[in-house]
Amino acid sequence: MNPGEKGWLKEYLDFRKELLRDITSESKRASHPEHSLYRIIQPTGLMYGQPIGIKDLPNSDSWDEKDRMKILLAESLISSSLLFHDKAIATPDDLSKVMMKALENIGGFYNTIFPELATPSKSLFGRRKSPLELAEKILDKRIEYTSAFDTNFWVQFFHNSLLFLDIFIYGQWIHTNADRIVSDFFKYEREELRFSVVKVIACAAHANLTIEYEERRLLEFFLQSTELPMDKKREAKKIFDEGISLAEINLPTNNSWILKKYFLEIAILTIWADKRVEASELDFLKELCVHLGFSEDDLDNSMLALEGFVLENWDNLNYLQNKQTYDQVSEQFVERMEKITGANKKRLLKEVQESKELMELLRKARTIELSESEKQRMQELLMLALKTIPTFVLISLPQKFLTLPLLLKILPANFFAEVA
Predicted local distance difference test score (pLDDT) of residue 278: 81
Q: Is residue 291 part of a domain?
A: yes
Predicted local distance difference test score (pLDDT) of residue 225: 57
Whether residue 165 sits in one domain with residue 120: yes
Q: Which of 289, 321, 353 is the last residue of a domain?
A: 321
Whether residue 281 sits in one domain with residue 206: yes
Compute φ and ψ for 11, nearest 5 degrees. -60, -40
With contact defined as beta carbons under 8 Å apart, do 412 and 342 qualify? yes
- State the average pLDDT over residues 62-81: 88
Q: Is residue 106 part of a domain?
A: yes
Residues 6 or more apart in contact with residue 179 via CB below 8 angstroms: none
Predicted local distance difference test score (pLDDT) of residue 153: 62
Predicted local distance difference test score (pLDDT) of residue 31: 61
Tell me the pLDDT tens digit for each residue of 201-242: 888 888 876 666 666 666 666 666 556 677 877 887 788 777
Q: What's the distance, Cα to Cα, between the start and end of the chain in Å?
A: 50
Q: Does residue 378 carry a pLDDT above 80?
A: yes
Predicted local distance difference test score (pLDDT) of residue 147: 54
What residues are paired with 220 via a beta bridge? none
Query: What is the band of 329 on the pLDDT scale with cuts at 50, 70, 90?
Result: confident
Predicted local distance difference test score (pLDDT) of residue 60: 79
Identity of residue 298: D
Whether residue 387 sits in one domain with residue 266: no
Most confident of 5-19, 141-155, 302-316, 333-347: 333-347
- State the average pLDDT over residues 394-404: 89
Whether residue 380 sits in one domain with residue 246: no
Whether residue 270 sits in one domain with residue 219: yes
Tell me the pLDDT tens digit for each residue of 411-420: 887 777 777 6
How confident is the prediction for the chain on average, in pLDDT?
Answer: 82
Q: Does residue 381 carry a pLDDT above 90?
A: yes
- State the average pLDDT over residues 310-333: 75
- State the average pLDDT over residues 323-336: 82
Whether residue 348 sits in one domain with residue 252: no
Whether residue 169 sits in one domain with residue 87: yes
- State the average pLDDT over residues 307-329: 74
Whether residue 75 sits in one domain with residue 208: yes
Whether residue 301 sits in one domain with residue 349: no
pTM here is 0.86
Quick one: DSSP state of residue 369?
P
Whether residue 257 sits in one domain with residue 141: yes
Tell me the pLDDT tens digit for each residue of 134-193: 999 999 999 887 655 555 666 666 667 788 999 999 988 887 766 677 788 888 888 888
User: How many CB atoms lie under 10 A from the CB of residue 139?
Assistant: 23
Higher pLDDT, 401 or 274: 401
Query: What is the band of 65 on the pLDDT scale with cuts at 50, 70, 90?
Result: confident
Most confident of 192-201, 235-244, 316-325, 346-355: 346-355
- Give the chain's domain count: 2
Predicted local distance difference test score (pLDDT) of residue 252: 61
With contact defined as beta carbons under 8 Å apart, do 251 and 292 qualify? yes
Predicted local distance difference test score (pLDDT) of residue 152: 60
Query: What is the band of 301 on the pLDDT scale with cuts at 50, 70, 90?
Result: very high
Interatomic CA distance for residues 203 and 205, integer angstroms: 5
Least confident piece of the model among 98-102, 269-273, 343-347? 269-273
Q: Is residue 326 part of a domain?
A: no
In the chain, pLDDT over 70 holds for what percent of residues? 83
Residues 6 or more apart in contact with residue 55 via CB below 8 angstroms: none
Whether residue 366 sits in one domain with residue 254: no
The distance from CA 123 to its chain's CA centroid, rounded to whole angstroms, is: 36
Q: Does residue 29 carry a pLDDT above 50?
A: no
Predicted local distance difference test score (pLDDT) of residue 386: 93
- State the average pLDDT over residues 395-409: 89
Q: Which of 290, 321, 352 is the last residue of a domain?
A: 321
Interatomic CA distance for residues 35 and 55, integer angstroms: 21
Predicted local distance difference test score (pLDDT) of residue 27: 44
Predicted local distance difference test score (pLDDT) of residue 120: 85
Whether residue 275 sits in one domain with residue 388: no
Domain that residue 261 falls in: 8-321
Q: Is residue 241 part of a domain?
A: yes
